[in-house]
Copies of this chain bind each other. A is one copy, B any other.
Amino acid sequence: MNTKKQAPEIPDCKEQLIAIKDTMILLSGKWKIQIIGWLLLYGKVRFMDLLRGIDGIAAKMLSKELQELEQNQIVVRTVMPTKPITVEYELTEHGKTLSGVIEAISAWGVTHRKFLFKK
C-alpha cells in the first residue's frame, strides 16, 4: 500500500472552516472589527467621529480600513454637501448582517472578563 500515514479517520467538515477563513480575510486588520462595532452602535458616523472615538487609530489606518470595507460592500461612504465638507460612513444592509458576529465577539469579551475574575 502506498499511503503510509494512517488512514485519516478525520471527517470532512471543511465547508465551515473555509467559511471561517473567508470571513477572517475580510475582517483582517487591527481595526476593522472595532470600526464595524462603532457603526453598529452609532449608525451614521463621520470620519472625525471615528478618528476621535476609536482609541489609538491614526488617520491613515482609518482611511485604509474604511476603503477596504467599502470595497467589500460592508460600508457606504457618503459625501455630504455641508459647509466644511463632511463624509458619513454607515453599514450597508449586507454590513448589518455582521451584527451577529460582532455581538458574539462582544459578548464573549464579557464572558472572558468574568472568567478571569472568577479564577
Contact = CB atoms under 8 A, between A and B. Distances in A.
B22 A109 contact: yes
Overall SS of chain A's interface: helix
Nearest to A102: B20
Contacts of A60: none
14 contacts: A10-B53, A16-B37, A16-B106, A17-B37, A19-B106, A19-B108, A20-B105, A21-B34, A22-B112, A23-B106, A97-B108, A100-B104, A100-B108, A104-B105
A117 interface: no
A23 to B, nearest CB: 4
Chain B CB within 10 A, most for which of A20, A26, A28, A112 = A20
